[in-house]
Amino acid sequence: AVFNGCINLEKVELAALTTLGPGTFGNCPKLSTVILPNLEKITGGFGGENSCFYNCPSLKEIYLPKVKSFKFRKYVISEIRA
Pick the more confident residue, 81 or 33.
33
**Residue 70: band (very low, low, confident or very high) from pLDDT cuts 50, 70, 90:** low
CA distances from 2 to 5, 27, 52 (A): 9, 11, 11
The torsion region of residue 33 among left (phi > 0), alpha (psi -120 to 50) and beta comes to beta
Encode pLDDT of 31-66 as tens digits: 999 999 999 887 765 567 777 888 888 988 988 888
Q: What counts of helices (H) and strands (E) characterise the chain? A: 0, 5
Rounded to an integer, what distance in angstroms lies between the CA atom of residue 17 and that of residue 48? 23
Closest CA to 5 of 56, 39, 44, 75: 56
